[in-house]
Structure 1
Amino acid sequence: MPRRNQPRQPASQASQPSQPSVSSSRQNDALQEFQARRVQRRLDDLERTNPTDIPASSFVPAESSQTPAPGPLQQLPARKKQTANVRRILYNKKSLKDWLDELPAEPVPPYLSAIAPAPSIPPRRICSSCGYFGAYKCSRCAEWSCDRVCMEVHERDGGCGIGR
């Protein structure tokens, strides 16, 4: 009686025992070659993006290839494999001197380099006597006046530095 969770097999496959065929070994060989090429391509990419070498002291040495003597289970100190992220962090690690060397020699104060944009509208012509919109310009000092009365006040009271 078949179990519920297992898919049913056709009767022809159920009666014949499975035997490895030549095509399956070729598939396994092709799969292994594909995986090896993929690993090699990944290593080449890593080498290309890592132009300088990471110091050898930052890597964990490989385990020796000697086999342990037979006996009770031996607990060897387990070492974690160093991941790509750890290698990247070690590679990009900067000292304080490196950070200070990247700073500009003498920082320019912002108030010296701040520049306001040019105005998009012309300056307003304001009457120098009453503050209304100016229509006439003094020929001596180039200040604006709104009418003849304000122009006379400007000339009389010394608005342009002449008067009295």
Structure 2
Amino acid sequence: MKITDAEVILKTSKHVPVTSGSRTRGTEASAVTQQRTIRRRLQELTNENYKEVKIDTPTSFTKSKQGKTVNSRRVLGSKKTLANVFDDDTASAEYYYSLVAEPSKYSVKLRCNVCGYFGNTKCSKCGASSCSLTCVKLHTLRCSQ
């Protein structure tokens, strides 16, 4: 639980007497009223110093750049809604996924699974390729585990 500054002041204030069961009813009531007045005064102080920060952008800066370039005039003149932009975007994505490339003229080169160099030997257990004797030894340790 976070303690505010007002609660700290209320707890450490010397003017508020500590209430106990042996005290009379009048002193307890005065302690409550003192606490209430302290809370009210602290609330007034926090409200008095409160200022809302508002940063205004200069209108000359924003208006001077609108519509100056060809692309910005085209965008401002098109009056497309956000739904139209999303529809166009999904249509182009569907076209992209429908494209098919030709098979490669060159054969697929196998890469070593350990170091990434061109591998010419394959593991008999898993079929992973290796390029040298050191990579084969490393792969057999990993493959057997």
TM-score after normalising by structure 1: 0.29
Larger radius of gyration: 1
Hey, which of these two has a bigger chunk of helix by percent? 2
